[in-house]
Structure 1
Amino acid sequence: MTDGPSAAGTVPDPRQLSDIAVELAGRAGALAMRHQAAGLSVSSKSSVTDVVTDADRAVEEFLRAALAQLRPGDAVLGEEGGTGGQSTAGSPVRWVLDPIDGTVNFMLGLPYFAVSIAAQVHGETVAGCVHNPATGELFRAAAGSGAFLGDRRLTGPRPAPLDQAVLATGFSYDPARRARQGRAAGELLASVGNLRRLGSAALDLCALAAGWVDLYYEGPLNEWDFAAGLLIAAEAGVATSGLRGRPAGAHLVAGAHPLRAEEFFQLLTAAGVAEIG
């Protein structure tokens, strides 16, 4: 393992936190795949389309236990377990975990889901890893050090004209909100090249960083959905926004090549995307 117990009040190097995230994501992904192979127990959360599996819970329990050994005193926010207490011993670090982002894809056997791990220092995300265990792809970033897929440095999407650009987005579990999002997406389709709805916000942001899609927006999101992926996109040079002067965040995450960002963000604003949440 790459790190030992944290010293009270010390601020670790983002690269050290990234190394921890990478190692734990790999192990967590292997655990998820073992659960998938053995057969999944599935239940619902906020709606019948918002599902959780025994693998989601087991992976988060593993991550929490591993972090408690490696970084005792750090706070943890996870999708399935909520906030695991506040930081103790003066630690400025909080970990943000999504054990399986794209649970429906995972349940169906569609190979587009990920373990997402972010580390924040004093509230700012400084390290992140998004790992797709079905494909072996592992995206990582540390603040100020760039973003990578394996050993390949990521440089973001192409500066394609909007009418040729491929746009990725996602939709809410709430039917009424999803209907509003669908109307906005339908309006946007007249101005972009095409649209993809792939089912994992974390991986969509990494796809943007890798240049596999040209544009992305989605919101509202939970912090665990986007914390690691947003850092990876930003470190790849993606311009991000929450529209109307707000930074990207839980209300909305949008991203594009810097040369297309202003036009794209104006298009989203005109379509009413910022008001959907």
Structure 2
Amino acid sequence: MNWGAMDRYAKSLIKEAGHHIKHSFFTEIEISSKSSANDLVTNIDREIEQFFITRIRRDFPNHRIMGEEGFGDEIQSLNGVIWFLDPIDGTMNFIHQKRNFAISLGIYIDGIGMLGYVYDVMADDLYSAMKDEGAYLNDIRLPQLTDTTIEESIIGVNASWIAPNRYVENNPMIELVNTCRGTRSYGSAALEMTHVATGRVDVYVSMRLSPWDIAGGMIIAGEVGAISSTLNGEQSSLLEQETFIVSNASIHSQLLEDFIVLKK
């Protein structure tokens, strides 16, 4: 596999898709809900996913695709080359803010992440990485992350984690919020992972993320030394929804041991 050529191909597709998304603001956007009133999808999400799938199937018929909107393949194993695609990560932001959303793409072979991309469409910022070749923002190499402490960290976490909930013990989360330097929540898992990769935040944690949410960002974050795992400390399976954390390596273990406690 010529990964350099694949990288150029993927970047071209992403930029073309981004142009289509920007143009969509001049058209009527159709909005509907999926699993709940807050789980939104638009005709643009579907059109962009179909755009990617049509091109990939034409040019790489032996590759498989897992896409959020369900137009790809049914993936039950990680064998071969798989494209993990979220055409618009942060659909609620896309609808309400017309910003703070991204195209997320990860290309894996036999479960190993080879190419990762997160494209902040409105900022025209393309984060990219190739396995063992570093991570980049608009072709400028990102530096390796430096060690930090909980007290010096900014935590990417949704406010609902602090209130009583059915997933994690909220009292340790309150302690984490009171101990860290600050918290942020941006509404796009893919963009939050790039914030960890650039050191803008030091941790991002979330429940129920799907493979297409994290596949691209994991490769980017890993290339600057960040650690990604489930909240049990296990590697993501990339086959189902899972809990998720990506963080500066120096505080990853402490977060899971002392602050982020899953309910039994």
Query: TM-score per shorter chain, which class?
Result: 0.7 to 0.9
Give how far 1:130 is off. 0.8
Following the alignment from structure 1 to structure 2, what is the Cα–Cα distance between the partners of residues 83 and 168? 30
Number of paired residues?
A: 256
Matches within 5 A, 1:251-266: 251-266=242-257
Give the match for residue 8 of structure 1: none
Distance 1:193 1:86, change over 3 A: closer
In structure 2, give the amino acid aligned to 1:162.
Answer: I
Q: Structure 2: how far apart are the matches of 1:182 and 1:48? A: 26
Given the alignment, which residue of 215, 218, 235 partners 2:206?
A: 218
Following superposition, the deviation at residue 257 of structure 1 comes to: 2.2
Change (3 A) 1:226 1:64: same
Note if 1:17 corresponds to 2:6.
Answer: yes
Which residues in structure 2 correspond to 1:116-155 (within 5 Å)? 116-155=104-143
CA distance in 1, matches of 2:256, 2:74: 37
Given residue 257 of structure 1, which amino acid in structure 2 is its aligned partner? Answer: N
Shift in Å at residue 198 of structure 1? Answer: 0.4
Q: Which runs of 5+ in 2 are unaligned?
A: none
Looking at secondary structure, tell me which structure has more helix per residue: 1
Distance (Å, rounded) in 2 between the aligned partners of 1:179 and 1:234? 30
Displacement, 1:86? 6.8
Distance 1:221 1:29 in 2: 23
* Structure 2 partner of 1:44: 33
> Is the 8 Å Cα contact of residues 208 and 214 (structure 1) preserved in structure 2?
yes
Structure 1 position 211, deviation (Å): 1.1
In 2: Cα distance, 1:123 partner to 1:162 partner? 32
Q: 1:109 aligns with which of 97, 108, 117?
A: 97
Tell me the residue number matched to 1:200: 188
Q: Contact conserved, 1:157 with 1:214, CA < 8 A, in 2?
A: no
Percent identical across equivalent pairs? Answer: 29
Q: Distance in 2 between matches of 1:248 and 1:158?
A: 24
- Consecutive unaligned residues in structure 1, runs of 5 or more: 1-11
Match of 1:84 in 2: 73
For 2:242, the aligned partner's letter is H
Moved more, 158-167 or 242-251: 242-251
Which residues in structure 2 correspond to 1:153-172 (within 5 Å)?
153-170=141-158
Deviation at 1:200, TM superposition (A): 0.5
SS at match of 1:49: coil
Q: Does 1:71 align with 2:60?
A: yes
Q: Measured at CA, do residues 194 and 144 of structure 1 come closer, stay the same or move farther in structure 2, by a change above 3 Å? A: same
The secondary structure found in structure 2 opposite 1:225 is helix
1:4 paired residue number: none
Label 1:19 to 1:163 Cα distance change in 2 as closer, same or farther (>3 A): same
Counterpart amino acid of 1:14?
W
Q: Could you tell me whether the CA contact under 8 Å between 1:256 and 1:264 is conserved in 2?
A: no
Whether the 8 Å contact between 1:114 and 1:132 is mirrored in structure 2 is: yes
Alignment correspondent of 1:237: 225
Shift of 1:219: 2.3
TM-score using structure 2 length: 0.87
Structure 2 CA distance for aligned equivalents of residues 169 and 153 of structure 1: 27
